[in-house]
Each structure stands twice: as structure tokens, then as C-alpha cells.
Copies of this chain bind each other. A is one copy, B any other.
Amino acid sequence: MRKFVNDPKQFVPEMLKGLALANPETLTYVPQYNLIMRKDAPSDRKVSIIQGSGSGHEPAHVMAVGRGMLDAACPGDVFSAPPVDYITETTKLMRSEKGVLYLVNNYTGDRLAFEMAAELSMAEGIEVETLIINDDVAVSDSTYTVGRRGVAGNFFVIKAIGAASEQGADIEQLLAIGKRVVDVTRTMGIALSSCTPPAKGVPLFSIAEDEMEVGIGIHGEPGRRRAKRGTADEIVTLLLDAVVEDLPYKNGDRVALMINGLGGTPISELYLLFGRAHEQLKKRGIAVGRSYVGEYCTSLEMAGASLTLVRLDDEIEALLEADAEVPIRVF
């Protein structure tokens, strides 16, 4: 296991502790509920935005806590939904007169946990609404889901809702904005390697060096098919065919294009993919209005990448453009 780890069972708490130590002015780590929260949240002037899901997808979602993004995150262990009581404690801490909004990626375990937490929280008089994110076009159902999975497109939902919540939108408006973003966001990914959960110690699946898993899930769950690895151009064509034709995105559309690394692929390769995708989109008459290249939703140290498109309009673009502050310091 080629990892920096102490006790594998303490992998997530030790990561969160490091995250809080690196951001002492903006973030608080609450060890007893394994949660990360903004130091200045909650506020009765804004809806509190919460996300929780399995760990192992960093920076999603614990490193997306900050002004204009999430107010708190309650991660589970690697690839496991958070416990219901941790979600309810997070909800209590984030209680706001304007309500609490859960952003839940569509995985069965996460949905069940957040449904129960919503009921328990509402019984205590907290207004709670839930938005489901399901941008992955690869499979219609999967080993982890009924319906499509939520993957890297999650970032755009957090960003848009985070911005609107800072501007004072109420919970119904945020739900509407979130649904509008989900409706125009589509993703598909490719894996070139497996990944190894720290507490498991062995790779989740095996894949030959010249193969790729087309439509990989972010927990290593199967996609559409196993194939011989193609060139970067062939892979971009394959991803764009699946993503563009799904909505579909059309000639004349203006989009945000994200090339997201799955954890083990260097940023040089992501920019190479981005360039080819940009060119291919142009040939399809689709203009790239906003560019995102890097890691947003990973699968531990998996080699691979996903491609996300968001159809832009003035409202969505303004929300994506709004100022925000996240723990990831670049310079």
C-alpha cells in the first residue's frame, strides 16, 4: 500500500485535523462528530448548506467548506455514508432561521442517512430541505445506487447554491437554483487504475496496464465496459459522445468544461485532455465559457479523469463567477 498513513482506521480524523490546522482562521474540526465547519457559521441571515458523504473523494467535500461554498461537511469513513447522528449533530450546529439545505449525491447509503437525519432534525423544529445530485451519465443504475450517481458535477451545485445562499436566497429559491444546475450538468469518467482504501489495504479491482474502465464510479464500481486504453483523443471523443448526447448539449451552447482528476493523474495530463476536449467541442459548435482543470472529486489515488459539462446561462454563470473562499490555497 503506497500510502502515507498511520492507523488506517484513523485516516479520516487525521486528515480532518490537518485540514483544520492548515486553516485556523476559517475552519473548525469537531472530532466527536467528525465534522468540519466554517468558524463563522451558522448565520440566521443565510440558509446553512451541508454536505456529507463517504471520504476518499477529496477535495470533495470537506475541502469545499468556506464562504460561498458549504457551511459544514460531515464525512463518513472512506467510501461510507456518515452516521445519522453525526448528520443530525451537524444540522443542529448549523441551525438557522432560514433553514438548512442538504446537498446529497445520489448513493443509496447517503440518501438513507440524510432522509433519517432530516426527519429527526425536523422533529426538533429545524427546517430541512434536500437536493439530490446525479450528474453521472455512465450507468442508469449501479451497485451503489438506484438511478444515476452523483460525481464531479457536485462541485457546480455547491458553488452555485453557496453563492446564492450568501446573497440571501431563501431555501425554496436555493432548491430551484440547485435543480436548474443539476438539470444542465452531465459527467462521465474513465479509470486507468484502481484505488486502495486505507483500511482495506488491497486494490478494489484489477485492471491491466493497457486497459481502461469506461464510465468508472468514484468508489471503483463498474462503469459501462472495460476496453483497451485509447489515445487521449480517443478517450476525449468517447467521453464527449456520452456526455454531449445525453442532455443533449447543442450547437450554439455555451458551457463550463471541467476535466477532473481522480487522484493519481498529474495535472499535466488533465490540461492535455482539456485542450483536446476544448477543440472537439468547438467542432461541435459548443463554446467553452468557463474552464476547470484539476481535482474536484477523486477516488483516492485512482489514475483517471472525468469530463463534466454545464450549460451556462447568465444566472448560472454569475453564481459560478461569484467570489468564494475555500481551504485550498494555491499561492
Which residues of A does B touch, CB under 8 Å?
1-6, 11, 14-19, 21-23, 55-56, 58-59, 63-64, 68-69, 155, 159, 192-193, 209, 229, 231-233, 235, 263-276, 278-279, 288, 291-295, 298, 300-301, 303, 305, 324, 326, 328-331
A11 near B272 (CB under 8 angstroms)?
Answer: yes
The 7 closest A-B pairs by CB, nearest first: A18-B275, A18-B271, A22-B291, A2-B192, A18-B274, A4-B269, A263-B266
- Known A-B contacts: A11-B268, A11-B272, A22-B291. Give 8 more (CB < 8 A): A5-B231, A5-B272, A15-B271, A18-B276, A19-B271, A64-B331, A266-B298, A266-B301
Known: A268-B15, A298-B266, A303-B2. A21 touches B274 (CB 8 A): yes
A330 near B331 (CB under 8 angstroms)?
Answer: no
CB distance from A131 to the nearest CB of B (A): 19
A276 near B328 (CB under 8 angstroms)?
Answer: no
Residues of B within 8 A of A16 (CB): 271
A-B contact pairs, 25 of them (CB 8 A): A2-B192, A2-B193, A3-B192, A4-B192, A4-B273, A6-B232, A14-B232, A14-B272, A15-B269, A18-B275, A19-B275, A21-B275, A21-B278, A21-B288, A22-B271, A22-B274, A23-B291, A264-B266, A264-B301, A266-B301, A292-B329, A293-B328, A294-B330, A301-B303, A330-B330
Residues of B within 8 A of A288 (CB): 21
Q: Which of these, B3, B269, B275, B292, contacts A5 with CB under 8 Å?
A: B269
Docked complex Cα distance between A1 and B4 (Å)? 24
B267 near A58 (CB under 8 angstroms)?
Answer: yes
B269 near A3 (CB under 8 angstroms)?
Answer: yes
CB distance from A61 to the nearest CB of B (A): 12
Known: A15-B275, A231-B5, A328-B330. A268 touches B300 (CB 8 A): yes
B272 near A18 (CB under 8 angstroms)?
Answer: yes
CB distance from A108 to the nearest CB of B (A): 23
Q: Which of these, B231, B278, B295, contacts A6 with CB under 8 Å?
A: B231
Residues of B within 8 A of A58 (CB): 266-268, 271
Chain B residue with minimal CB distance to A229?
Answer: B2
Interface centre among A6, A11, A155 (most CB of B within 10 A): A6
A232 near B4 (CB under 8 angstroms)?
Answer: yes
Residues of B within 8 A of A263 (CB): 266
B11 near A293 (CB under 8 angstroms)?
Answer: no
Q: Which of these, B3, B18, B193, B235, contacts A4 with CB under 8 Å?
A: B235
Docked complex Cα distance between A244 and B326 (Å)? 30
Docked complex Cα distance between A324 and B331 (Å)? 7
Docked complex Cα distance between A6 and B232 (Å)? 5
A329 near B6 (CB under 8 angstroms)?
Answer: no
Chain B residue with minimal CB distance to A21?
Answer: B278
B268 near A56 (CB under 8 angstroms)?
Answer: yes
B18 near A55 (CB under 8 angstroms)?
Answer: no
Q: Which of these, B23, B209, B268, contacts A1 with CB under 8 Å?
A: B209
